[in-house]
Structure 1
Amino acid sequence: MNRRIVTRLSLAGIMSLSLYAPSISAHDNLDDVAIEKGAQEGELTNISMLEGNKNLENWYEAAAVQIKENDGIQNSTADVYAHKGFAYLGTHTAGGGNGGVRVFDLKDPSSPIEISKFADDIPGTWQEKVIVKTVNTPYFKGDLAVVSVQQLDRGNALSKGGFLLYDVNDPYNPKKLGFWELDKRVRGTHELYLTVQGNKPVVLTANPYADYYTHGEQKDFALVDVTNPANPQTIYEFDPRMLNEVPEDFNGYHWNSPDGKTRPVFNHSTMTDNTGKTAFLSFWDLGTIMLDISNPYDVEYLGRTDFAPDVQGAAHSSALAKGGTVLIETREVYHPTREGYERSYGYTRIFDIKDRTNPKLLSTFKTDLVDHVEDGVTFANTVHDPKVRGNTLYLSHYAGGVRAVDITDPSNPEQIGKYVPEQAFFWGVFIDQNYILASDMGQGLKVLLKNNSKNK
């Protein structure tokens, strides 16, 4: 049964709930920075609601569907993507991983149907990120899916990391095409992106700590030509040493920054603008790095964001607005009491990047959670992933649900809505057609629709 809960920002009726904590293990963890995180047990005030104003006041929860058990095991969800009326959900580590990518038919968005599962064939791995795009090459025509693959335990002789490529022309029957494999010492590809330059599909990979674990033999960022999905070819890798402020003896991860601090440096996420000509690398305390990849065989460094000495970096993910002239940078800070830094969980920064060699900070956006500094470490209060549709920024915020922010004036962002169902723990959000998709790690796929949509 669909449940409609729409209120103004003055909604009362607050419930105190025990935060649902998905079964998640920390993975690569150097010092106290873990690239794969999870919930911590604790109490959080949750508001079971969808509330908003302006362009969000007519949205309602149309569907909440848990993913199917996998051989009697309930996996947790990771990121979400949509393409041609189908939703693609990656899976996280609960239940021992290997949950694959789950495909949902959204013909009726108020009743999504799980129709297939793929990319679960490499033992001891998990499949967090999936991107699907239509490509046309001499080797493959149609809908191509790329899926990140990460090892749960590098000591497992059967596991390996990298990314998988699938033919999803028929989402009911995905077909494996190829695999791009990383060195066994590297966990794998954490986040990735698929862009198309003319008729050349190129995958951008974030391979955290690759430089560190392979002593520079492989890099945290790679461009991979997948014109022939059965034979992906690496054509470029990024080395932070190309930045003047990073010393030649940089060995990945630890960076003695100009502010006197030793900061963590690794590539967490990557994406491009709509043209596929500029790459954005979320390089933690090196900020968001911008590269000109218009010629992927001759890449040029453009610029990067940076941080004040008292601000933890933690550049986690990015999105673009205003025709690519505005950069949204989310920072996943879950240790808010680190000595020498401000007391705050992760919040969002907004930049003018019309001149990509000189990004200018326009504003910061904080939810009501980020200043609630508690003892211990929690992921509940930090921002996670951003998406933009028009002048609205959508943020997945773990137990803080999904937040909607008006960025008509990027210098003055204003929260205009939030969706916080009971026991929420959101990993990703995606905007497609007339609906908002969100992946709740413990509860599966959530679909929000406008009131004037066909299905209510």
Structure 2
Amino acid sequence: MALAVAGFAPSPQSLFETIDVREWHHDPSQAMIEHDQQVENTVSMARGKSQTGTGIENFTLLGRGVRRLPNATTDVWALRDHAYIGTFNAPCGDGTGDNGSGVRIFDVSDPAQPVEIGPIPSVLGSRTNDVKVAELRSGDVLGYSNESCGGGPGGIELWDVTDPSTPSHLASIRVGELNPIVNTLVGGATADVGVHNLWLFTQGDRDFVALYAESVFHNFRIFDITTPAAPVPVSAWGAEEVFDPGVGDLNFDAPDGIERVQAAFNWLLSGMGDLAFRLLHDITINASGDRAYLSYWDAGLILLDISDPSTPQLLSVADPAAGPGGEGNSHAAWPSADGTVVVETTEDFDFGQLAITVDSGPLAGRQFGGIEDIGGAPPPRFAEMGPVQGELVFVGELCRGAPVENASAFDPGDIAVIRGSFCTFSEQLLIAQELGAAAAIIADILVGRQGIPSWTAPVPAITIPALMISTADGVTLMENPTGNIATIDPNVYTNLSPWGFVRIWDYSDETNPQLASTFLTDHARNESGPPDPRGTYSVHNVIVEGNIAFLSHYSDGVIALDISDPGNPVEIARYNPADAAFEEQNGGIQNVWGIYKIEGDERIFASDRNGGLYILQLLGNSSAKVSKAPRR
């Protein structure tokens, strides 16, 4: 595809007028955090089980490293006979690992009985999102990323795990904004930003670590760690170079520096779909260490030539709008051994909205979509309360001291339709509750608006469910303020769109990648809403060995795809238990985050956010079977 960016007109306004730079913050995991919050109080409605593998082969469970902590486990990596898993927001790093945080180490020499041998501590106040370990010239080196979960630092930590029973700290790397114009515009503490992912690699006689810095410009950084205790910065690159080559190096002395930086900044934050940004998420570097595959969310899958790590060169950008939905969301990627095929995962939690179905009245037959992510004190979920039916009555802003509009038409059991205002959502919901509303609908574009209601202590609990709808739909309801009887059923969705899915690319010409195919599970297709509202049905990470792509697919489990024909991927195995017995021993619904496989080794390592470490084996015989080799 052409690298030129079409259809973007930079705003004539200044950056200060278009973006509140004082509020700039980017956390790639925020969508995951919000999804956790959305489903944490949801109960299973038993509307179906996860589908089973459809191929002639399947997985068998060899063993597991038990860690029953809800939403706690992040990535997994392995080297020889040890596996390493990270920790998300809770428990947040305490600097020791005594509270269960940090990188948990398992001896997996006997895969049937993994033994936890001790943690590598997270930095105080930070979480360990990504974990990588590799055999380098200086020994076995582990790197993990830091993202603040309690005021802690960003960057990465390097550890010597040559003897995993006695790991030793090697170095800390901190990163910040590099462009002086961006640094000034963003303001605040920009010298130390979070890191979401990293990659350890070797090139010639030198060792390197590449990382994703959560800055605005220069997301991709490379450091020389040939002497791992003394990292040396080598280069920095960002997708802003796709939009405007050279913009990353502009400073205040450039005649048009501020305008160009502003335009690039705006482009990076104006992507497609729900998570509309063009910032890096994940890094994969090939075995020879000369190609970097950068999953750049709505900027697409970007391939860099890093033969000279000091001067990365742009080779291509895979079309971010390819496949269903056209939302970008490039999350992770992995090339085949020869680089001619690349499997890319997209991550998307914006699968659809609960339906407000008008049964009778002026708007009979209309359906509006709403979301339950409402700031402030969270209301109960419709899945907990069950279907609600009542008259939709527009009641105005419902702020304390403001009149209730259409008060004479509102009866207990009605559904209050509320106009967004400057008082808090909690305040509006509490007033609707006082009126006797069975549920509430708030029409407001400020989804993130939160705060403590102006209420006399103690603040009452919110006991009615609520939805947020778009301003446009709100106007329609406000123009028809009474007489519409509607049902909100937690089993009925509208505005459905696919969850995250797989794109398989033909990189025979690495300067012009072509989409070969896509792969979606039945649940990711999302034709009737999620089978279990507690679940997450997006794909997450991928690793490729031979002709098989192994996927971590959240509540669809671990999936193996035969990609020997890239234009026709075939599912050959799935590990996806979904019964009550599994949930009890797992500590919750299946929620697979990480996937890793040592080349030539039969063991497949998966991390479950609720249950910890799983070790699987692919069974059967087929042309797609990966090779087996003795463990070293």
What TM-score, normalized to structure 1?
Answer: 0.80
Structure 1, unpaired ranges of 5+: 1-26
More helix by share: 2
Change (3 A) 1:280 1:378: farther
Residues 1-400 of structure 1 aligned to structure 2 (within 5 Å)? 34=31, 38-39=35-36, 40-41=38-39, 42=42, 43=44, 47=49, 51=53, 53-54=55-56, 56-57=57-58, 59-67=59-67, 76-98=72-94, 99-120=101-122, 122-136=123-137, 141-153=138-150, 156=151, 159-183=152-176, 184-185=189-190, 187-208=193-214, 210-211=215-216, 216=217, 219-244=218-243, 248=261, 249-251=263-265, 254-255=268-269, 263-308=276-321, 311-321=326-336, 323-337=338-352, 343-372=497-526, 374=529, 380-400=536-556
Moved more, 283-292 or 127-136: 127-136
Moved more, 30-39 or 95-104: 30-39
Q: Is the contact between residue 311 and residue 342 of structure 1 (CA under 8 Å) also seen in structure 2?
A: no
Moved more, 247-256 or 180-189: 247-256
Change (3 A) 1:145 1:399: same
- Separation in 2 of the partners of 1:31 and 1:117? 25
User: How many residues in Structure 1 have an aligned counterpart in Structure 2?
Assistant: 404
- Separation in 2 of the partners of 1:345 and 1:29? 22
Cα offset, 1:382, TM superposition: 0.8
Cα deviation 1:30-57 (Å, max 9, x = unaligned): 8997376653424376758974644x33
SS of the counterpart of 1:346?
coil
Cα offset, 1:336, TM superposition: 2.8
Structure 2, unpaired ranges of 5+: 1-23, 95-100, 177-188, 246-259, 354-469, 471-494, 583-588, 621-627
Runs of 4+ aligned residues of structure 1 deviating over 6 Å after TM superposition are 30-33, 259-262, 375-379, 451-454
Cα offset, 1:195, TM superposition: 0.8
Cα offset, 1:244, TM superposition: 4.4
More strand by share: 1
Cα offset, 1:447, TM superposition: 1.1
Q: Is the contact between residue 119 and residue 147 of structure 1 (CA under 8 Å) also seen in structure 2?
A: no
Q: Is the contact between residue 194 and residue 213 of structure 2 (CA under 8 Å) also seen in structure 1?
A: yes
**1:401 aligned residue:** 557
**2:10 aligned residue:** none
Moved more, 141-150 or 94-103: 94-103
Which structure: larger Rg? 2
- Separation in 2 of the partners of 1:296 and 1:90? 28
Identity %: 30
Residues 1:416 and 2:572 aligned together: yes
Cα offset, 1:97, TM superposition: 4.2
Change (3 A) 1:337 1:449: closer
Change (3 A) 1:315 1:161: same
Query: Which residue of 429, 434, 443 maps to 2:611?
Result: 443
Q: Is the contact between residue 207 and residue 268 of structure 1 (CA under 8 Å) also seen in structure 2?
A: no
- Separation in 2 of the partners of 1:149 and 1:32? 12
Q: Is the contact between residue 126 and residue 149 of structure 2 (CA under 8 Å) also seen in structure 1?
A: yes
SS of the counterpart of 1:250?
helix
Cα deviation 1:208-230 (Å, max 9, x = unaligned): 3x11xxxx4xx211111111212
What TM-score, normalized to structure 2?
Answer: 0.59
- Separation in 2 of the partners of 1:297 and 1:82? 29
Change (3 A) 1:350 1:408: same
SS of the counterpart of 1:95?
coil
**Paired amino acid for 2:511:** T
Q: Is the contact between residue 46 and residue 420 of structure 1 (CA under 8 Å) also seen in structure 2?
A: no
- Separation in 2 of the partners of 1:225 and 1:284? 26
Superposition RMSD in Å? 3.3
Q: Is the contact between residue 427 and residue 440 of structure 1 (CA under 8 Å) also seen in structure 2?
A: yes
Cα offset, 1:343, TM superposition: 1.8
- Separation in 2 of the partners of 1:30 and 1:146? 20
- Separation in 1 of the partners of 2:590 and 2:28? 29
- Separation in 2 of the partners of 1:75 and 1:362? 34
